[in-house]
Chain A
Amino acid sequence: DAGVIQSPRHEVTEMGQEVTLRCKPISGHNSLFWYRQTMMRGLELLIYFNNNVPIDDSGMPEDRFSAKMPNASFSTLKIQPSEPRDSAVYFCASSQGQGYGYTFGSGTRLTVV
């Protein structure tokens, strides 16, 4: 198994631009999570999906952030417009459901200048 695959690994963009992060979960995992990690705030859960359905998006910072999961093998996290304070490492993780640990992807390091 290739694990959770995220792309791109690094993204540098200018303030105001749209950014799209991508994630392919492990096949057979029915839960998918998007996290943001910074030194100041640690690991923050942004949104998660069960069986492709968004369950809790209360961690999404504001309307500039949106996430989709059109099928069981693909999810996107979009930031439009991006701002410097969005700079962070964004992790995608998947799991088999309640009572199972997460497998994290390698993360996307986003820098907004």
Chain B
Amino acid sequence: GENVEQHPSTLSVQEGDSAVIKCTYSDSASNYFPWYKQELGKRPQLIIDIRSNVGEKKDQRIAVTLNKTAKHFSLHITETQPEDSAVYFCAASMLTGKLIFGQGTTLQVKP
């Protein structure tokens, strides 16, 4: 069935280091892959997305890569800052428009 696996579930890094979160998806027809950031007590917010015709996309300190053959995609955050601390969710889009979310990664950036 439809499934998105996300790893790690928790990640702790020192301020200034890089953080990488990885996801795999099961439906080869998926063609849209957004990433959401959810701060404590707030709503998930879209931070970056990538479509299946692109292998990599970058926006300042965050980047996403996609390997369609392997059905993997990853979020990379460079020069992490304490305000990057949050829960991050990956997702894959079904043809119906429904997003299947990963289980979430709690990122802690230590000052």
The CA of A55 and the CA of B96, in the complex, are separated in Å by: 9
Number of interface residues of B (CB under 8 A): 21
Most buried by A among B43, B45, B96: B43
- Contacts A98-B93, A101-B34 given; does A45 touch B46 at CB 8 Å: no
Write the chain A residue with the least CB distance to B98: A48
**B-chain residues with CB within 8 Å of residue A99 when the two chains form the complex:** 31-32, 51, 93, 97
**A-chain residues with CB within 8 Å of residue B97 when the two chains form the complex:** 31, 48, 50, 95, 97-100
The CA of A101 and the CA of B8, in the complex, are separated in Å by: 23
Within 8 A of A (CB), among B93-111: 93-99, 101, 103-104
Q: Is B89 an interface residue (CB 8 A)?
A: yes
Q: Judging by beta carbons under 8 Å apart, are A42 and B101 in contact? A: yes
**A-chain residues with CB within 8 Å of residue B94 when the two chains form the complex:** 98
Q: Judging by beta carbons under 8 Å apart, are A98 and B46 in contact? A: no
Number of interface residues of A (CB under 8 A): 22
The CA of A48 and the CA of B94, in the complex, are separated in Å by: 13
Q: Is A103 an interface residue (CB 8 A)?
A: yes
The CA of A100 and the CA of B34, in the complex, are separated in Å by: 8
Q: Judging by beta carbons under 8 Å apart, are A104 and B103 in contact? A: no
Q: How far is the CB of B101 from chain A (nearest CB, A)?
A: 5
Q: 26 A-B contacts, Cβ less than 8 Å apart?
A: A31-B97, A33-B99, A42-B101, A42-B104, A43-B89, A43-B101, A45-B101, A48-B97, A50-B96, A56-B98, A91-B43, A91-B44, A95-B97, A98-B93, A98-B95, A99-B31, A99-B32, A99-B51, A99-B93, A101-B32, A101-B46, A102-B44, A104-B43, A104-B44, A106-B43, A107-B43
In the complex, besides A48-B97, A91-B44, 14 extra interface pairs with C-beta distance below 8 angstroms are A31-B97, A42-B103, A42-B104, A45-B101, A50-B97, A55-B98, A56-B98, A95-B97, A98-B94, A98-B97, A100-B32, A101-B99, A102-B99, A105-B43
